[in-house]
Amino acid sequence: MIDFVKEDAERVQTLIDKWLTPKAGMNHTQLYEAMRYSALAGGKRVRPHLVYEFCRACGGEDVCADAYAVATELLHTSSLIHDDLPAMDNDDLRRGKPTNHKVFGEATAILAGDALLTESFALISNNEHCTDEQNVFALVAFAEAVGVDGMMGGQMIDLQSEGKSISTDELFDLCMRKTGALITCSCMLGCIAANAPHDLMNAAGEFGSCIGLVFQIVDDILDVESTNEAMGKTVGKDKAEAKSTFVSVVGIEESRRIVRELTTKALACLDKFEKSDAVMRLKDFCIALSERKN
């Protein structure tokens, strides 16, 4: 992991540990235990990193972005817990550890996922370092990204596509919603935290759309070429379960070409921001994301 991404990941880890600590005397501490098990299990922390970097790129302070950044990670973790359930992807391994339902049972895993989702909205709405107007703006963007026309809709398309042949356009739609929507929103949340103008927010959103697709396409390639150890999760399941992926629809070489094209577009979006260390780091991050091996 790149050092500057690691620093943000460590900040988020500390905040999650703090904000998901149960109060004394609670009778439902096992729910907190299940939430913490997955939320503190590590991971790339791509989404919160993007919140922080776009906040910095727009002249904002990290403290203004904390709640928004952690919210994206809690929501993402919620989706992973639910994705791994037997009724969904039925996975046994996540981030190199047994999946949540394997440790706590299906019922508790469902509740843990639901609770993390709900807490993510609570964090955004109560960000004391931003104005009420900023928090409402952030809530609307967040809800649109993860709702029926965003991440949830993408998950539904994914389920409907199993064992079927879908077009390239349908595949782009699936990935833009399932993976890209929350990544796009993370970039925009950073701008909102810095109270940036709409033109920069739009540029950040376009950047997020591009790298959201890059992230998913590279994931599809690694599912074919990588190992369980390198990825920290089960690889080869997409083909085994006849899932529609960029590799299965357009092939590995065309997938790599699309990654290069989207990376170039993403880098161009960053030219709309004033030159700064944050923007340079975002460019480095964009390139590293397209070349990642896990």
* Residue 14 · residue 55 · CB < 8 Å: no
What pLDDT is stored for residue 227 in this prediction? 59
Question: Token match 């739009």: residue?
Answer: 202
Residue-wise pLDDT for 33-62, tens only, equals 999 999 999 888 999 999 999 999 999 999
Instruction: Give pTM, 2 decimals.
Output: 0.91
12 burial via Cβ count (<10 Å: 0-12, 13-18, 19+) = buried
CA distance linking residue 82 with residue 73, whole number of Å: 14
Least confident range of 45-49, 63-67, 93-97, 230-234: 230-234
Between CA 107 and CA 6, with CA 40 as vertex, the angle to 5 degrees is: 150
- Smallest Cα–Cα separation from 219: which of 262, 255, 182? 255
Question: Does residue 230 have a pLDDT over 60?
Answer: no
CA distance linking residue 68 with residue 150, whole number of Å: 18
136 burial via Cβ count (<10 Å: 0-12, 13-18, 19+) = middle
Residue-wise pLDDT for 134-161, tens only, equals 999 999 999 999 999 999 999 999 888 8
Question: Does residue 24 have a pLDDT over 90?
Answer: no
* CA 21 to each of CA 10, 39, 122: distance values in angstroms, whole numbers, following the listed order: 17, 12, 15
Which of 79-83, 93-97, 154-158, 237-241 has the largest mean confidence?
79-83
Least confident range of 194-198, 246-250, 257-261, 264-268: 246-250
What pLDDT is stored for residue 232 in this prediction? 59
What pLDDT is stored for residue 234 in this prediction? 60
Question: Does residue 114 have a pLDDT over 60?
Answer: yes
Mean pLDDT of the chain: 92
- Is pLDDT larger for residue 248 or for residue 243? 248
Residue-wise pLDDT for 177-187, tens only, equals 999 999 999 99
What pLDDT is stored for residue 245 in this prediction? 86
What pLDDT is stored for residue 287 in this prediction? 94
State the Cα torsion 91-97-102-107 to the nearest 10°: -90
**Which parts of the chain are beta strand (E)?**
93-94, 97-98
* Residue 179 · residue 150 · CB < 8 Å: no
Question: Does residue 235 have a pLDDT over 60?
Answer: no
Helix 198-225 to helix 46-57 angle (10° resolution) is 150
Q: How confident is the model at residue 165 (pLDDT cuts 50, 70, 90)?
A: confident
What pLDDT is stored for residue 241 in this prediction? 58
Residues written for the chain: 294
What pLDDT is stored for residue 23 in this prediction? 87
- Is pLDDT larger for residue 201 or for residue 5? 201
